[in-house]
Structure 1
């Protein structure tokens, strides 16, 4: 195991980090299946193969664990879209959305939590509010960059295009949970982007590019 500088990590710290990651994965699975309120720390400890006391050494509360699960996912997604602009930014967000279909539990978690977390008192409410606002701004800026390059044919403002893109991603993921074989998230999102950006890539070459982006 290595730290951020690439140095090898051995001994108790590596073991502790491994246990923490196991807890995060168990938490994601449990929250995805039962939701936040119906999940207990005992359930998560059992999934992670540790004692409830052992889990407490890493996370003091269920809310703290949920926050860590969401933060880790956000950091991983942010890494995939960092240092992009214009069409590349839109394609990177599409690639993340498509890549998530390889982890059904993740889509289930976010779909369930985003519905529950509309309640202000939900512990994930602020996380999702900030995430939506940030992603909408990111996409709006990308559409503006595409417009400035003369590649955008829509007369809608960039905020509207960004909100439509977000709504499509969320809605398609829910449809995919119900009918995976009949819901092609990548194809539908590319069709939307191509309808406003004629030069946006579609077809086999585009799918190959998206696949390499998430590796």
Structure 2
């Protein structure tokens, strides 16, 4: 009996084409924002026809959610590689973002656009910030211990502060990548308020 053959025809390259489309969409969304982007622009960037694009993603909304899901999955893999150390996971994601500035551009654009409840990414960002705060709050609760109300920040406040710091610094970094060392600043802030949350070598890295 002959060996089974792989998929043929237009579906043979579907995973690769979908990845190609998502990468093109990420780039165009980052440059123009969601609302100003057209499916035609994305198809041209991906090097396929609009018909081919619609075959894989039936609408611009579906494409945007596909891009967001892809990034969340990638971030999940990076976070998992740090085990239970949530702060190290954040640092790894920052390091990865440095190599892919389009991701930072996309997040900075969408986080502002999606404040409107009518935006297709609104629910995604509402849940994303809730989950991110909960994730960091748990990490800081372990590092800071029980709060007696006398500390500078509670674990929940520290979590919200770090997220605000990340968003603001990423925006500044997009404008001036030479002057803003996002990772070093985040490490220094965490070292100041919750030193136990950082790995043992953080005091060295935070001063670089």
Asked if residue 43 in structure 1 is aligned to residue 41 in structure 2, the reply is yes
In the alignment, structure 2 segments of 5+ residues that lack a partner are none
Q: Quick one: distance in 2 between partners of 1:162 and 1:80?
A: 19
Q: Which has the larger radius of gyration?
A: 2
Aligned match for 2:129, one of 132, 143, 155: 132
Q: Could you say which structure has the greater relative contact order, defined with CA pairs below 8 angstroms and 6 or more residues apart?
A: 1
**Structure 2 counterpart SS, 1:202:** helix
Alpha-carbon shift at residue 155 of structure 1 (Å): 4.4
Q: Equivalent of 2:94, from 97, 106, 109?
A: 97
Counterpart for residue 64 of structure 2:
66
Higher alpha-carbon deviation: 196-205 or 36-45 = 196-205
SS at match of 1:57: helix
Query: Superposition RMSD on alpha carbons, in Å?
Result: 2.4
2:186 equivalent to 1:185 = no
Deviation at 1:25, TM superposition (A): 0.3
Matching residue of 1:211: none
**Does the residue aligned with 2:58 lie in a helix, a strand or coil?**
coil
Residues 1:84 and 2:92 aligned together = no
2:73 corresponding residue in structure 1: 75
Question: Cα deviation per residue 1:152-190 (whole Å; 9 max; x = unaligned)?
Answer: x94421110000010010010000001000000110000
Pick which of 161-170 and 93-102 moved more: 93-102
Misfit runs of 4+, over 6 Å: none
Output aligned runs, 1:159-178, within 5 Å.
159-178=156-175
1:4 maps to: none
TM-score normalised by the chain length of structure 1: 0.84
Residue of structure 1 equivalent to 2:53: 55
Total equivalences in the alignment: 195
Separation of aligned partners in 2, 1:44 and 1:130? 27
Consecutive unaligned residues of structure 1, counting only runs of 5 or more, are: 1-8, 208-215
Q: Structure 1: how far apart are the matches of 2:62 and 2:195?
A: 45
Shift of the alpha carbon at 1:114?
0.5
